[in-house]
A and B are shown apart, each in its own frame.
Chain A
Amino acid sequence: MRNTWILAKRELSGYFATPVAYVFLFFYLALMGFLTFYVTGYYERGVADLQPFFALHPWLYLFLIPAISMRLWAEERKSGTIELLMTLPISLGEAVMGKFLAAWLFSGIALLLTFPMWMTVNFLGAPDNGVILASYIGSFLLAGGYLALGSFLSAITKNQVIAFVLTFVVGLLLVLSGTPLVLEFARQFAPDVIVDSLRSFSFLTHMNAIGSGVIEVRSVAFFASLIAACLAACVVTLDLKKAS
């Protein structure tokens, strides 16, 4: 646990040691703000809530999360620091956890910096702040699940571009599997069990559930098990092919 925290601290300070973190945060916030206010018709709705804003998250994360996660292990491999890390007295599990936590905290910082949204909506009207809080937690969980997936996919290559594209594609599948388009299509030939499990694997389903203000055990369990499974896969992958 101590090692995990030391590594997470180093990683997190690593983000801010280069312009990468600032460029990322700038585009994250600019994109979130622009899309919410100009594309979703936020003002025209005349409703004081942040629903259009949170509805964007699963889609925006498709680009933003792989941008964070692609370098996690691919860069360690490429620069050779993986050899250093793996010969220090730190277990593989601690290392995977530490790097993941740093990435998750970073995405949490980005999310927290969207607080002007929350201030705006409270200035304009009287939104249900409980729902907003639940949505923030949901978005954070979604980011965690997706980052864990990205961390695993980053471990199988030393090329950051490949890691980005893989994470994007798998993420896209996981978001799309909850859209009516895919579900209706599947319903034509697949039994209900398949359609239901397809839906239950989707990021969208769980985000919508949480976005309505209810944090369901089901959704929390989904993201928690996604994180656990992906990090375990990451450990196994690294153990099998550390050097290649």
Chain B
Amino acid sequence: MIEIQNLTKEFGPLRVVDSITFTVKKGEVLGFLGPNGAGKSTTMKMLTGFLAPTAGKARICGHDIESEPMQAKRKLGYLPEGAPAYTDMTPAAYLDFIADIRGLSGATKAARIAAVVKQVHLDQVLHQPIETLSKGFKRRVGLAQAIIHDPEVLVLDEPTDGLDPNQKFEVRQLIRSMAKDKAIVLSTHILEEVEAVCTRAIIIAKGKVLFDGTPEALSARGPLDEVFRKITTGDRVAAS
């Protein structure tokens, strides 16, 4: 459902993403790992149509993000880095706005809003301005916004960043529960998150894919953080 082909992004002389290729099928949860500045967010920004790639293609459910942006964006839920939101609104008003833009209306809209509010546990802060909420709640508002239209493709940029251990656990559970009928890509630099939720892991550094395989294959090589360090600082490791 997600196809990325030789995706490349250059900012001036700097090549931030260097010819990345991968596909994600329905039912897969792809963990996107890498040190800071590796090109994870840039790849996601290109995949979701925010940034135009310098070269290469990204397709969502068969729709090219550049030539058919509307069709592609309709199939897509996206949590950008830092979970930006219109913070002067309350979660209730904000989700209502996103649902409107997503083309939901009437009873369907009310039902979907109620469902996501329950899924990410927003009920107690529903009528407080988002700017007054804690980091954890803000992140959950961002998640609710991304899944409100029950998209086939979900792209989450650091979905558990800033959450406490309990909230992290809940978000991971939520992601797992949605995984069955979606294609999900999430970026993280928490290594155990990959083992906890992902069916597949890609490690990138300096814009290149250095590892593409199952979390099991990754952990079979030794303790995760050591393997990660070896891969991202050392030579290219053959993908399994």
Contact = CB atoms under 8 A, between A and B. Distances in A.
Nearest to A91: B70
Contacts of B48: 87
B49 interface: yes
Contacts of B88: 14, 17-18
Interface residues of A, number: 21
B162 interface: no
B208 interface: no
Contacts of B73: 87-89
Contact of A87 (B50, B87, B103): B50
Contacts of B103: 89
17 contacts: A7-B101, A10-B97, A14-B88, A17-B88, A80-B80, A80-B82, A80-B84, A81-B84, A83-B45, A83-B50, A83-B80, A86-B50, A87-B76, A87-B78, A87-B80, A91-B69, A243-B51
A89 B84 contact: no
B76 A84 contact: no
Contacts of B51: 242-243
Interface in A54-92: 79-81, 83-84, 86-91
Contacts of A79: 84, 87
Given A13-B89, A80-B84, A89-B102, 4 more contacts: A3-B101, A17-B88, A79-B84, A83-B84
Contacts of A18: 88
B74 A89 contact: yes
A214 interface: no
Contacts of B69: 91
A6 B78 contact: no
Interface in B49-95: 49-51, 69-70, 73-74, 76, 78, 80-82, 84-89, 93
A243 B85 contact: no
For A14, A17, A83, A86, the residue with the greatest tally of chain B CB atoms inside 10 Å of its CB is: A83
Given A3-B101, A81-B86, A89-B102, A17 B45 contact: no
Contacts of A243: 45, 50-51
Contacts of A7: 101
Top 9 nearest A-B pairs by Cβ distance?
Answer: A80-B84, A89-B73, A83-B80, A87-B48, A17-B88, A6-B100, A81-B84, A89-B74, A10-B97
Nearest to A81: B84
A14 B100 CA distance: 16
Interface in A83-110: 83-84, 86-91
B102 A84 contact: no
B133 interface: no
Contacts of A3: 101
B27 interface: no
B125 interface: no
For B82, B85, B89, B100, the residue with the greatest tally of chain A CB atoms inside 10 Å of its CB is: B100
